[in-house]
Amino acid sequence: MRIDDESLKGLLRARGLRVTEPRVAVLAYLASTDRHPTAEDVETAINANGQVLSRASVYNVLHSLTRAGLVAGMSVTDGAARYDAHVAPHHHLLCRTCGRVEDVPWQDFGIAERGVLPDGRSVRTLALTLDGVCNACC
């Protein structure tokens, strides 16, 4: 999904972040892809479009966007942190064949709705990573 730069700048301001070209570029890229890229993937994609961002700059931007709640960071079994601008509740499927991470619609698992586990521990969020095979590899 492509979001115009003015809307992205508004999101940054609304979360108390200063609007910078690197932040807009990273957020625009993440909002435009469903691939759950690593920081290295983000750096490669942005630099391929003519901007030049160092890996350190990409990491700094990703961390600030994650802290502001505009991006979700996630880990999968390959160990690399991946990033997603789709921050509404959802889960992920990690394809055993190609390694792609795909969104899976959030379903009500009961525990999350109640907000408390049977032993009394509090549930803030529920996120599942499903291990399987994507449609392209089936």
Q: Are residues 32 and 74 in the same domain?
A: yes
Strand 129-132: give its sheet, edge to edge.
101-105, 90-95, 129-132
What local confidence, expressed as pLDDT, does residue 115 receive? Answer: 67
Residues 10, 61 share a domain: yes
Output the pLDDT for position 41: 95
Task: Please check whether residue 50 lies inside any domain of the structure.
Answer: yes
**For each of the chain's 138 residues, which pLDDT tens digit applies?**
568 999 999 999 999 999 999 999 999 999 999 999 999 999 999 999 888 999 999 999 999 999 999 999 998 776 789 999 998 878 888 888 888 888 887 765 555 556 666 667 776 666 778 888 988 998
Assess if residue 125 is contained within a domain.
yes
pTM, to two decimals: 0.82
Is there a single domain that holds both residue 75 and residue 98?
Answer: no
Q: What total of structural domains would you count in the chain?
A: 2
Residue 33 confidence (pLDDT): 94
Structural domain range at position 26: 5-84
pLDDT of the residue at 90: 82
Q: Are residues 111 and 55 in the same domain?
A: no
With 0-12 CB in 10 A as exposed, 13-18 as middle and 19+ as buried, what is 121? exposed
- Is residue 52 domain-shared with residue 21, that is, in the same domain? yes
Those residues with Cβ within 8 angstroms of residue 93's Cβ, 6 or more apart along the chain or in another chain? 101, 102, 103, 104, 129, 130, 131, 132, 134
Q: What is the CATH number of the domain that holds 108?
A: 3.30.1490
